Amino acid sequence: YVKKYLSDEHFDEAALFTNMYVMNKTGKELKTTANEIKNVYGVHAMMSVFKYPRLKMYWDSKGMCFGPISQAIKRDRFLKLRSSLHYVDINNRPIDNYRFWKVQPTIDRVRNACRNIPRLVDCYSVDEQMIPFTGRCPNRQYVKNKPRPTGLKNFVITTSKGKEFTRCENQISATKWKVSKCVTLISSATGAEPYSLVKRWSKTENKEIEIPCPDVVKSYNQYMGGVDVCDQQMECYRTWIKTRKWTFKVALRFIDLSIVNAWMEYREDSQKLRKRNNDIMDLMHFKISVAREWLTKSPKKRAFLSEESNSSDTEEIKQQFKDLKTIEHQFHQKQK
């Protein structure tokens, strides 16, 4: 499911442009591969589920070392790859000076995958979504009344389950409804009629009274929460990281979005196959399985490791993943 959004081609391009960036900047070869880029993604996915207060604690042999991460990639190598990660050739800067050009390939890849999802429902929710970032960025905004008000704003359209609407071509209705304040809604799907009765508190009568509510308001309240549900799922296991690079923050956001979308598709397909709820992975276990898949793609050869050390490391990695459920249980017990 995740490969629909982040295919092998994405990792190949990331490895290529990362090597080019390091060569242009330092004159030295990084010699990274697509499998190592998958390791970086897998480490961040694991960190989003198993949260430690400090990054280096995942590799701390004297403390609570996290085996699936420490055995998959060395700490210094991970930090080097993370700081050098690029998705485009920095020498080919666009003429129009587009600000998101460094992460545009990742954005386009995820967006195209979302566009290929079959439109099986007629009701959608469109809302703004924040990418939290407090560092320096030309596109950073402050949006009042948001849980994370500072960051980069993007608009998201999500599905919403409900009744079918008949859309009117070239016909738009505007409805103004006054309760405590005036609310104006414009719709091409429905209008004010038919009215329904809703209860609202009356300050003059000091009790709840029934007032007529336009159909467009009822529909809005019924289907508006799709983006909020998506935000809630992403926030449960959001990839946390402190970085000054807003481009990397955007990339991580779209990685999280890809995993959440893939999990929703997996859950829908499992329900269609009439699987038991106990047999369907929740978001946490789904993200762990994705992280394990990325982490098990460790390269067999590296410039700084011999073949013997690689084979031994591979066996250790397999053993660590066999004990992952035990590690997960111990971790949550300590959190309690």
Which string of DSSP letters, residue by residue, matches 241-291?
---S-HHHHHHHHHHHHHHHHHHHHHHHHHHHTT--GGGS--HHHHHHHHH
Domain boundaries, the chain: 2-120+227-335, 173-223
Per-residue pLDDT of the chain (336 residues; tens, 9 = 90+): 888 888 889 999 999 999 999 998 888 889 899 999 999 999 999 988 888 888 888 888 777 788 888 888 898 999 999 889 999 888 888 777 778 888 888 888 888 888 887 776 666 666 677 777 777 777 777 878 777 778 777 777 666 542 233 344 557 778 877 777 777 877 776 777 777 877 777 777 788 888 788 887 877 777 665 666 676 777 788 887 777 888 888 888 888 888 888 888 888 888 888 888 888 888 889 999 999 999 875 544 443 333 343 444 445 545 555 555 555 555 555 555
Using an 8 Å Cβ cutoff, are 290 and 40 in contact?
A: no
Decide: 15 and 9 in contact? Cβ < 8 Å.
no
Q: What is the pTM of this model?
A: 0.69
Q: Look at residues 307, 293, 301 and name the one whose alpha carbon lies nearest to residue 8.
A: 293
